Amino acid sequence: MFDDFLLRAALAGVGLSLATGPLGSFVVWRRMAYFGDATAHAAILGVALALAFDLPIGLGTLAVALIMAVTVATLAARGWAVDTTLGVLAHAALALGLVAISFVHGVRTDLQAFLFGDILAVTKGDLAFIWGGAVLVLALLVWRWQGLLAATLNEDLAHASGVNPNRERLILTLALALVVAVALKVVGALLIAAMLIIPAAAARALSRTPEAMAGLAVVIGAVASLAGLAMSLWQDTPAGPSIVVAAAGIFVLAAGFGRMLRR
């Protein structure tokens, strides 16, 4: 049944949403949007290194994203000016990745696939990687949910209740690196942060509890994936950006609807 490329694409989008819904909610709550960007952009550098050393792309992406995420988290914890630091790292990593990739022969034509994703070319192997990674991230977040949420509300409060906020931050950092590796094929390095933030932001307007927001973000991400694929199919638009456009459309509707509800 996985022989149909469209079915594989749809499953890839839905699988990714399982992870980006809850993780994206934390990114929004903790104001880590730029953090997500920096980590995602580092993925391009990972691609370059993987190609240069003939390693699996997923492995290279995961390793470099992890290094980047840990670096940023460490600098932030040491009190570096986070906004500036992230700006420098995010763009430096992207530019460095693009330069590095130009040294690898025969990739230039594929570059767009890494920047904007290539969901229609998802193989069965990719699908296994995406679902494996997404379920792992989801399980990690569900397992640590109470502690993560407490640490997000207030670190001192969490600490006084026996939750180590540093450990929780590390778990989110790990999850973010995993999601970046998983999402590269689906939406590409430039739009990974969009898949984290937009569904969660859309869900915010319609939710009363953190759990409802995370769950709804999964649904919105999945619907946006399917709608984006449909748009891509009928209008021949690029699939990755179409998914993000669909998510943005849902966000606008949700924000308007949420406003009506509150009246």
**Positions that interact with another protein (CB under 8 A):** 28-31, 79, 146-147, 149-150, 152-154, 156-163, 201, 204, 207-210, 212-213
At residue 81, the 3 state secondary structure works out as: coil
Q: How far is the CB of 42 from another protein (least distance, A)?
A: 25
Could you tell me the two tokens for 53?
Answer: 């050393």
Number of residues in the chain = 263
Q: Look up tokens 């699988």; give the residue.
A: 15
Q: How far is the CB of 19 from another protein (least distance, A)?
A: 19
Query: Residue type at 166?
Result: N
Q: How far is the CB of 204 from another protein (least distance, A)?
A: 6
**Residue nearer to another protein on the CB measure, 26 or 129:** 26
**Residue nearer to another protein on the CB measure, 139 or 212:** 212
Cα–Cα separations (whole angstroms), residue 30 to 216, 226, 242: 18, 28, 27
Q: How far is the CB of 165 from another protein (least distance, A)?
A: 9
Sign of the Cα pseudo-torsion (238, 217, 222, 254, in order): negative
**Residue nearer to another protein on the CB measure, 88 or 212:** 212
* Cβ-Cβ contacts under 8 Å for 67 (sequence gap 6 or more): 42
**Residue nearer to another protein on the CB measure, 42 or 150:** 150
